[in-house]
């Protein structure tokens, strides 16, 4: 069994705190994705689980045993690196069998395991090649193969797809999902790509500044983000954030308004008193035109991106910020055209203004 | 675009070609010619065929010099390689005061050979040398290099290692620095101990650099002259003579330019044999690494 338990795990580099106390339980066979902007500590956290970084505080348990001071080779983990980290002087077969040969696994047994893994990953024809003779996607398969051969209880992936082109990334994403289904092993996967996180994860851990923001199923994070950071990070394109004023709060509902918006009544969320707040509106809930009970936004088309299946409209509101709307189908608009969009208040989310001290800091 | 023709380019290359012709090619041809003649001051060169080569090869002094050269080259170059490798790995593992130590290690390379030998002669002087006195003070045996042939050889080996260690070290250190750290992380996760990392990752990947360094050092060491000539002059009693010193003696002590030229060409031949072996190994290594 390979469940992991992190309790109060911390990492300091000479007084500078990178991971500020992470508590997390990962069940056996679960696919957990760490996601967050660069520098949020997700890779560091993964490397601490791998044993490549020392744990400054708290405890890490693997399979119920404290693993803080266990060396990487005794943790029962395998890791796939962003750079693949294949041994350039060894063939594909030797790369995959490296860990087995270090453990003095009988040669026949090792060869069998390498062959079986190569078959799963469809790289049998590459076994005699050197890494330099492989394409990026093939190298990635070998790196994954090297991990599978060792039959670890926990797989760690450190941004494994970020060096691949878009089409290949999608293929490999599906392969990894399939692999997880077939192997049933615990997998921890680090990425800054929220699409990878949404599609692969059983549960997503959103990190920012070394602090866990929210843990949950992808769809729960999408529907009920606990704060504006998570709301901005999960979902693509990013959620629109509109500064508003809360006029009154009553029975879990808040009445908010801003120049050009409302007044409109939305779910209060964490807001308890009148004051400044942020209204989160996903681009997909904005539709052209107006209807009864919807909240109207007026503006001009600033930028139009026609994808065929959907149209991205960047609208500069008459009274302030820009918002992005994603409309299904093709929409013929011309730049600078006057336009009205509306959304249903029940689809909008309200966040305290303190969630976004600097709204431009959210990536995407 | 202006078209460059062969004739248009020749004038631009000419100065370098002329220089090469004057200082390398013509003298080389002259040496080959000389090696088949008996020649000395005040005497017209006289053709003798291969007899210069036969004389040199059958001269016990040449064979002694060749033997000394081989011993010094083999011992010094390999010892130096081991030290440089150890130091490169030590520096890479993150020692304190790395920058200052780096300067200290590289410094001997900035010292002229003549100055270096003069310094060592003083340091190891049998009467007043600070190192001799220190060794005596510690009750350790003293290097009696000015009259004991073995001690003199040891001294030459130490001196040549000290002088050329920076060269080997720099090549190996650069090679080690160029190796990505994630390979080691992958190896650690694959279960390699530090020793296994060294044997199965570091050494194979540094192989080409080690071979290049060895190749250069073999060739440099093979034509070693100043260390021996300035330290012992080949003595006592020609016992520490190396091939280059033998050549110098033939040419400028005995004025036998024919045999000296033959010696020089024999050295070239020996170097080529050495070099070709290493280059063959190197090509295979590089091909494997690819």
Q: Which ipTM value was assigned to this complex?
A: 0.81
CATH T-level fold of B68-246+266-289: MetI-like fold (1.10.3720)
Asked whether residue A21 is assigned to any structural domain, the reply reads: yes
| Same domain? A20 vs A75 | yes
Of all residues in chain A, the one with the smallest CA distance to B185 is A52
Largest Cα separation within chain B, whole Å, is 78
pLDDT class for B4, splitting at 50, 70, 90? confident
Taking the Cβ of residue A89 and every Cβ of chain B, the question of whether any pair is shorter than 8 Å is answered with yes
A51 CB neighbours in chain B (<8 A) are 188-189
A120 close contact with B: CB closer than 8 A: no
User: Does residue A362 fall inside a structural domain?
Assistant: no
Tell whether A78 and A154 lie within a shared domain. Answer: yes
- A130 in contact with B at a CB cutoff of 8 Å? yes
Q: Are residues A111 and A258 in the same domain?
A: no
Asked if B189's CB is within 8 angstroms of A52's CB, the reply is: yes
Nearest to B156 by CA among B64, B251, B233, B268: B233
Asked whether residue A222 is assigned to any structural domain, the reply reads yes
Q: Do B205 and A88 touch (CB under 8 A)?
A: yes
Distance from CA of B97 to the nearest CA of A (A): 19
Within a domain: A363: no
What pLDDT digit, counting tens, does each position of A172-226 carry? Answer: 899 899 989 988 899 999 998 888 999 999 999 999 989 999 999 999 999 999 9
Same domain, A76 and A209: yes
Residue A225 and residue A244 share a domain: no
Q: For A225-242, write each residue's pLDDT tens digit.
A: 999 999 988 888 889 998
Can you tell me the mean pLDDT for A146-171? 89
Between CA A99 and CA B196 the distance in angstroms is 11
Contact A228, A351 (CB under 8 A): yes
B180, B192, B288 member nearest A89 (Cβ): B288
Kindly report the nearest CA distance between residue A253 and chain B, in angstroms: 52
**pLDDT, tens only, B32-83:** 888 888 877 777 777 888 888 888 888 888 888 888 888 888 899 999 999 9
Q: What is the CATH number of the domain that holds A310?
A: 2.40.50.140
Identify which of B46, B22, B26 has the alpha carbon closest to the alpha carbon of residue B256.
Answer: B46
CATH assignment at residue A208: 3.40.50.300
Among the three residues A207, A232, A257, which one is the final residue of a domain in this structure?
A232
Domain boundary among A179, A197, A232: A232
- As a whole number of angstroms, the longest Cα–Cα distance in chain A is 75
Q: Domain boundaries in chain B?
A: 68-246+266-289
The count of domains in chain A is 2
Q: Is B205:B198 a contact under the CB 8 Å cutoff? A: no
**In a domain? residue A364:** no
Please answer whether residues A298 and A340 qualify as being in contact, where contact means their C-beta atoms are separated by less than 8 angstroms: yes
- A283 versus A271: which is more confidently predicted? A283
Residue B117: half-sphere exposure toward Cβ, Cα within 13 Å: 16
B190 vs A99, A130, A132: nearest CB: A99
Query: Where a domain ends, among A200, A232, A264?
Result: A232
On whether residue A273 sits in a domain, the answer given is: yes
Name the closest residue on chain B to residue A103, using Cα atoms.
Answer: B191
Is residue A257 domain-shared with residue A176, that is, in the same domain? no
State the residue range of the domain holding A67: 4-232
A311, A304 contact by CB (below 8 A): yes
Neighbours of A317 (CB within 10 A): 20
Ranking A81-90, A214-223, A300-309, B278-287 by mean pLDDT, the lowest is B278-287
CB contact under 8 A, B190 and A98: yes
Indicate if A316 and A348 belong to the same structural domain: yes
Residues A65 and A214 in one domain: yes
């Amino acid at each position: 069994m390979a469940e992991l338990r992190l309790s109060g795990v911390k990492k300091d580099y000479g007084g500078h705190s990178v991971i500020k106390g992470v508590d997390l339980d990962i069940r056996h066979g679960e696919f957990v994705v760490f996601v967050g902007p660069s520098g949020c500590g997700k890779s560091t956290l993964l490397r601490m689980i791998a044993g490549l970084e020392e744990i400054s505080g708290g405890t890490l348990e693997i399979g119920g045993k404290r693993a803080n001071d266990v060396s990487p080779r005794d943790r029962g983990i395998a890791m796939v690196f962003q750079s693949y980290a294949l041994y350039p002087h060894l063939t594909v077969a030797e790369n995959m069998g490296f860990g087995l040969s270090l453990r003095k696994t009988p040669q026949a047994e090792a060869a069998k395991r390498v062959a079986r893994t190569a078959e799963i990953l469809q790289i049998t024809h590459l076994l005699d090649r050197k890494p330099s003779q492989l394409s990026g996607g093939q190298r990635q398969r070998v790196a994954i193969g090297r991990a599978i051969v060792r039959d670890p209880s926990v797989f760690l992936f450190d941004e494994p797809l970020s060096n691949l082109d878009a089409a290949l990334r999608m293929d490999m994403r599906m392969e990894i999902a399939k692999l997880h289904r077939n192997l049933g092993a615990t997998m921890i996967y680090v990425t800054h790509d929220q699409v990878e996180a949404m599609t692969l994860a059983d549960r997503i851990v959103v990190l920012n500044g070394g602090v866990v923001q929210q843990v949950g199923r992808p769809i729960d994070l999408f529907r009920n983000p606990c704060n504006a950071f998570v709301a901005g990070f999960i979902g693509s394109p990013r959620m629109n954030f509109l500064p508003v004023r809360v006029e009154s709060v009553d029975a879990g509902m808040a009445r908010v308004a801003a120049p050009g918006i409302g007044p409109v009544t939305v779910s209060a969320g964490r807001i308890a008193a009148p004051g400044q707040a942020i209204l989160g509106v996903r681009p997909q809930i904005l539709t052209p035109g107006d209807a009864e009970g919807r909240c109207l936004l007026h503006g001009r088309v600033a930028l139009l991106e026609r994808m065929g299946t959907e149209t991205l409209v960047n609208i500069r509101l008459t009274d302030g910020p820009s918002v992005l709307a994603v409309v299904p189908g093709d929409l013929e608009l011309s730049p600078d055209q006057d336009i009205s969009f509306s959304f249903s208040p029940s689809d909008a989310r309200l966040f305290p203004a303190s969630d976004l001290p600097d709204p431009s800091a959210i990536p995407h | 675009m202006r078209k460059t023709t062969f004739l248009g380019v020749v004038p631009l290359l000419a100065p370098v070609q002329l220089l090469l012709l004057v200082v390398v090619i013509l003298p080389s041809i002259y040496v080959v010619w000389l090696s088949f003649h008996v020649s000395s001051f005040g005497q017209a060169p006289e053709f003798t065929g291969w007899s210069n080569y036969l004389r040199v090869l059958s001269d016990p002094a040449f064979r002694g010099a060749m033997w000394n050269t081989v011993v010094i080259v083999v011992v010094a170059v390999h010892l130096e390689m081991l030290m440089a490798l150890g130091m490169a790995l030590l520096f890479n593992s993150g020692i304190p005061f790395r920058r200052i130590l780096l300067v200290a290690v590289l410094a001997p390379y900035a010292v002229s050979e003549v100055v270096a030998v003069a310094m060592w002669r003083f340091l190891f002087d049998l009467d007043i040398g600070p190192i001799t006195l220190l060794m005596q003070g510690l009750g350790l045996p003293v290097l009696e290099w000015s009259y004991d042939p073995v001690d003199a050889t040891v001294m030459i080996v130490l001196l040549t290692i000290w002088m050329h260690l920076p060269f080997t070290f720099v090549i190996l250190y650069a090679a080690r620095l160029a190796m990505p750290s994630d390979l080691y992380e992958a190896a650690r996760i694959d279960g390699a101990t530090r020793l296994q990392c060294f044997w199965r990752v570091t050494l194979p990947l540094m192989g080409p650099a080690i071979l290049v360094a060895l190749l250069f050092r073999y060739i440099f060491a093979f034509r070693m002259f100043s260390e021996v000539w300035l330290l012992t002059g080949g003595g006592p009693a020609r016992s520490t003579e190396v091939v280059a010193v033998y050549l110098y003696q033939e040419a400028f002590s005995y004025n036998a330019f024919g045999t000296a030229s033959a010696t020089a060409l024999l050295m070239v031949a020996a170097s080529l044999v050495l070099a070709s072996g290493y280059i063959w190994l190197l090509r295979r290594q590089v091909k494997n690494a690819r």
